[in-house]
Amino acid sequence: MDKILVLDFGGQYNQLIARRVRSEQVYAEIKPYNGISVEEIRKNGYKGVIFTGGPNSVYEEASPHYDATILDLGIPILGICYGDQLMAYMAGGEIASAENGSEYGKTTVFTADDILFEGIPQESICWMSHTDYVKTLPEGFTTIARTEKCPCAAMCDRSRNLYGVQFHPEVTHTVYGKQMLHNFIFSVCRCRADWKMDNFIETLVERYKKELEGKKVLLALSGGVDSSVAAVLLHKAIGKNLTCVFVDHGLLRKDEGDFVEKTFGKQFGMNLIRVNAEDRFLSKLEGVTEPEKKRKIIGEEFIRVFEDEAKKLGKIHVLVQGTIYPDVIESGKGDSAVIKSHHNVGGLPDVISFEQIVEPLRDLFKDEVRETGTKLGIPHELVWRQPFPGPGLAVRVIGEITKEKLELLREADAIFREEIANAGLENSTNQYFAVLTDLRSVGVMGDARTYGYTVALRAVTTDDFMTAEWTRLPYEVLEKASGRITNEIKGITRVVYDITSKPPATVEWE
């Protein structure tokens, strides 16, 4: 099997690079820059190496560097952003801070005639995010792309198959980024496309069969795509040794608890325990308004509930979680900065009475998780269910959480979802939901003054949830949802639509 090594220098998008490579059916492995030597790289037989981006500047003392002999191994290398600058620096070039400021966002790039840009127009849009740039090319390198501000947006040394790009081909905003990576993998590295998701499933099932043999395993089932796929995967490996605990924390969408119970308990025949813990969660959340605090409380309470359940079940050895890769990086578990602490990663208490935590989907992106789910035979409507955050409606009720506010939100959200379904738009937007803002405003109904909450509707279009655009929903659908929400729900006087993309906003409001 041909393999590409992604050498991680701490960028936000490093796993995304691996995912893009895997989507070309070539296996990609990620290693931290200080976790593998040149000798190991040579021995492992990688067909190519990709240096990721990173937040540093090459001349900083603490910046991550690598043994320059890698450039002479005869293995093709693609450096991205910081990886590009590092390659230039290692090869004897000069890096400088852009005099006319950083370049950030969608930028027009002019590319030369090169194997890396085969099938790409000479002028296209790329995603830039940098201050430093390659000022003086190392010997043997030529410039193969430029932007208005950046004289060297891409470079190469054809004799050694060394390539560097200042922009990010892995993010969807680089319109031809996928093609560039394709060109690197197949035309420069000469890989064969022989990696499939089935191999991944088989490997994991076999691994857990052995690793968890004779162990009692507890899984945190939320009913979302991630934990559902983790559950079915583990169930396939260890059957009845797996017990799924579904905590109904009272922060779920309308009718969701019953749906989960029916699907996993009855349809899949898993060991399923539903714990009704609404009061426990709501009393812990009383008076709490700070989003990170909410997440921490919920995350911790989740684990406590599991521990209580585990005690009832006797000796439990292993806890399984449906953590996926974006949760890991956004919680700052890689080298990148913390954006939000996701309950299933950031909020783990220090003292935990399980021997081991298993996260089978830790390396996958959402669409890869869905593909895994489909291969595992999980019904379409579950695999394609929109994501739902672990802390549930707690991060969609802005400010203090009360039972009444949750009830208002649940109804508004159900109406919005119903109207999206009525318009046949479920597959045209990747996530859509209502948020109950903490803002109250004046309205009029009949002849009377009303004073109620403002609901915000949010719908986003994305394929990896790392970046997202707000979905251009038809006005008619928004109008219908708004009309129904304000008419059918007493206590809501106003509906607004959220038109911010990610970045700068996140998908969830908290």
Chain residues binding ligand XMP by CB under 6 A are 295, 327, 330, 340, 342-344, 387, 389-391, 431, 465, 502, 506-508
Residues 6 or more apart whose Cβ sits within 8 Å of residue 89 = 58, 95
Catalytic pick from 150, 152, 156, 168? Answer: 168
Radius of gyration of the chain (CA): 25
Q: Give the C-alpha separation, 433 to 232, whole Å.
A: 26
Choice among 170, 359, 371, 419 that is catalytic: 170
| Buried/exposed 375-392: b ≥16 CB within 10 Å, e otherwise | bbebeeebbebbbbbbbb
Q: Is 343 a catalytic residue?
A: no
In the complex, least distance from residue 466 CB atom to ligand XMP, rounded to whole angstroms? 8
Q: Nearer to ligand XMP by C-beta: 187 or 506?
A: 506
Residue 2 vs 327, nearer CB to ligand XMP: 327
Q: Tell the smallest beta-carbon distance from residue 173 to ligand XMP (Å).
A: 16
Least Å from the CB of residue 395 to ligand XMP: 6
- As given in the structure block, the two tokens for residue 268 are 């899949």
Cβ atoms of 86 and 50 within 8 Å: the answer is no
Classify burial at 256, counting beta carbons within 10 Å of its beta carbon; exposed 0-12, middle 13-18, buried 19 or more: middle
d(CA 145, CA 152): 6
Euclidean distance between CA atoms 222 and 390, whole angstroms:
7
Minimum Å gap between C-beta 200 and ligand XMP is: 21
Minimum CB distance to ligand XMP, residue 438 (Å): 18
Evaluate whether 298 touches 394 at the Cβ level (below 8 Å): yes
Quick check: is 170 catalytic? yes
- Cα distances from 86 to residues 17, 55, 110, 404, 410, in angstroms, run 17, 12, 22, 55, 50
Q: Given the complex with ligand XMP, which of 250 and 389 has the nearer CB atom?
A: 389
Of 307 and 508, the one with the shorter C-beta distance to ligand XMP is: 508
Which residue, 85 or 471, has its beta carbon nearer to ligand XMP? 471
Catalytic residues, which ones? 81, 168, 170
